[in-house]
């Protein structure tokens, strides 16, 4: 935490194109609370967070930021910020408690109230249909390892569209399927806590198939725009040694290309380096569904990843993986310990354009932000480090645009402090500080900085 107010100049940030979307983002499980309200069913994250030893300090999201009850307060914050759009997620178990069958009307009522409040405030809703909170009953039936989960997701999408499709101009199908596969099913560090390593790969395919089926449902329902959000990292070899170069390429395959290539090219990358011939779970015709044209491609970016060849005795080597992430030396880090390298963001965006060319739809930055140990002192939160982070990364986006990348929007993660998954309440990403004991919201310096930036860009 910095103890002084420090704000980079706004005047020298070149203007973005007219119509550029400015927003903030959240996710249902992280902010809503009210996990027992009005017919909501349990999710894998309810189960995971109530399992001793899974979450730092034994935290749960039973109350979180209490946005289910305080959503009007949060819409007022968004209106004060001056954002054009709000990216939030819809809780599958709130809408369809068991992951199949009829809709829970009370759950849809909540999202209808939220959407109507946003529209009344002049803010476009941008819902994400799945942000990791899989209904527990579906997990009990196999979760994303089961192909049927993709069909259930399409059914759920239809229920949401029936209620909200007339008022929502654009949709995001999935958030970060890579993290669900890698952290949830391969490493077991997040819900559902399965440690299957390469055996988790079918979950990647079934999520992408769910995306494709949801795109078809949205197209059939009307004229709304649709995209997917993938988490991307710029992979940097730890050295010029051939083993490190090969390790970085392998990490890039698993983290980035397995989730982007099928959507953007209609084919999986070659995984023969992992002894895999043909992608697990894929059936004839699936890739045509997955690669249906999109209106935008959501990119979440937080940091680059430095990768070396797996060292003898490491958990990665023990799992048969050829790589391991290593720390970046002499680089400032966030509260999470993530390296802060804004130039890597521009390199990533340019790399996406170079790799996918005309197959890449316009990009929307659907998440970008940083956690720091923010404290309220005399009624203020002086988060100059966050301002520096956001300023540097916005300049990187602007530079990528100058180099020919078509970026149409930018969403800060996050509007408010939230339940940060396995880290509980120890990491704060918000523009607004939340006292999790009382629910009180306190605007941070970064809130005012972003408000002034949007106003300056909108002139």
Q: How far apart are CA 424 and CA 64, in angstroms?
A: 9
Q: How far apart are CA 320 and CA 263, in angstroms?
A: 27
Minimal CA–CA distance to 222: which of 159, 165, 164, 173? 165
Q: Is the dihedral of CA 101, 91, 410, 351 positive or negative?
A: negative
Tell me whether residue 327 is one of the annotated catalytic residues. no
8 A C-beta contact, residue 198 and residue 278? no
Q: E strands, 6-102, where?
A: 21-25, 85-89
Q: What are residue 301's DSSP bridge partners?
A: none
- Radius of gyration, alpha carbons of the chain: 21
The length of the chain in residues reads 459
Collapsed DSSP state (helix, strand, coil) of residue 138: helix
Q: How many CA atoms lie within 13 A of 333 on its CB side?
A: 10
Q: How far apart are CA 124 and CA 19, in angstroms?
A: 13
The b-or-e profile of 253-268 (16+ CB within 10 A means b, else e) is bbbbbbbbbbbbbeeb
Q: How far apart are CA 264 and CA 210, in angstroms?
A: 15
Packing angle of the helix pair 258-265, 342-356 (nearest 10 deg): 40
124-130/85-89 β-pairing: parallel
My answer on whether omega of the bond before 39 falls inside 30° of 0, hence cis, is: no
Quickly list H helices, 238-330: 242-252, 258-265, 286-290, 315-318
Q: Please write down the HEC assignment for all residues of 88-120.
A: EECCHHHHCCCCCCCCCHHHHHHHHHHHHHHHH
My answer on whether omega of the bond before 192 falls inside 30° of 0, hence cis, is: yes
Among residues 32, 139, 176, 367, which one is catalytic? 367
8 A C-beta contact, residue 415 and residue 78? yes
296-300/235-237 β-pairing: unpaired
Q: How far apart are CA 64 and CA 433, in angstroms?
A: 12
DSSP string of 216-241, one letter each residue = HHHHHH-S-EEEEEEE---EEESSSS
Q: Which residues are catalytic?
A: 367
């Amino acid at each position: 935490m910095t103890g002084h107010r420090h704000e980079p100049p706004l005047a020298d940030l070149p203007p973005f194109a007219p119509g550029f979307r400015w927003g903030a983002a959240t996710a249902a499980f992280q902010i809503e609370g009210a996990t027992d309200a009005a017919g909501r069913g349990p999710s894998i994250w309810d189960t995971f967070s109530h399992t001793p030893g899974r979450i730092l300090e034994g935290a749960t999201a039973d109350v979180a930021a209490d946005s289910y009850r305080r959503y009007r307060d949060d819409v007022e914050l968004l209106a004060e910020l001056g954002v054009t759009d709000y990216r939030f997620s819809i809780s599958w178990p709130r809408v369809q408690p068991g992951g199949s069958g009829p809709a829970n009307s009370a759950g849809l009522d909540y999202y209808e109230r939220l959407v109507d409040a946003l529209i009344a405030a002049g803010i476009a809703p941008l819902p994400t249909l799945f942000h990791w909170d899989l209904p527990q009953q579906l997990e009990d039936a196999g979760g994303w390892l089961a192909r049927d989960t993709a069909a259930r997701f399409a059914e759920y999408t239809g229920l949401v569209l029936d209620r909200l499709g007339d008022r929502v101009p654009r949709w995001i199908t999935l958030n970060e399927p890579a993290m669900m596969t890698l952290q949830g099913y391969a490493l077991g560090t997040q819900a559902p806590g399965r440690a299957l390593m390469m055996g988790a790969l079918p979950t990647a395919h079934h999520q992408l198939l769910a995306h494709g089926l949801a795109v078809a449902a949205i197209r059939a329902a009307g004229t709304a725009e649709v995209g997917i959000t993938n988490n991307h990292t710029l992979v940097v070899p730890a050295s010029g040694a051939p083993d490190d170069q090969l390790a970085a390429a392998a990490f890039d395959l698993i983290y980035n290309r397995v989730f982007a290539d099928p959507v953007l090219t209609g084919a999986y990358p070659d995984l023969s380096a992992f002894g895999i011939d043909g992608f697990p779970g894929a059936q004839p015709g699936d890739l045509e569904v997955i690669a249906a044209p999109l209106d935008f491609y959501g990119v979440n970016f937080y940091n680059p990843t430095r990768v070396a060849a797996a060292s003898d005795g490491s958990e990665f080597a023990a799992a048969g993986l050829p790589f391991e992430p290593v720390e970046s030396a002499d680089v400032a880090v966030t509260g999470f310990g993530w390296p802060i390298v804004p130039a890597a963001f521009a390199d990533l965006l340019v790399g996406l354009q170079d790799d996918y060319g005309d197959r890449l739809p316009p990009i929307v930055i659907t998440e970008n932000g940083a956690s720091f140990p923010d404290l309220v002192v005399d009624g203020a939160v002086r988060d100059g480090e966050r301002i520096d982070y956001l300023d540097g990364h916005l300049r990187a986006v602007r530079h990528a645009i100058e180099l020919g990348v078509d970026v149409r929007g930018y969403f800060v993660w996050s509007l408010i402090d939230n339940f940060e998954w396995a880290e509980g309440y120890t990491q704060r990403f918000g523009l607004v500080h939340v006292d999790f004991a009382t629910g009180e919201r306190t605007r941070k310096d970064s809130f005012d900085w972003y408000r002034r930036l949007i106003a300056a860009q909108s002139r």
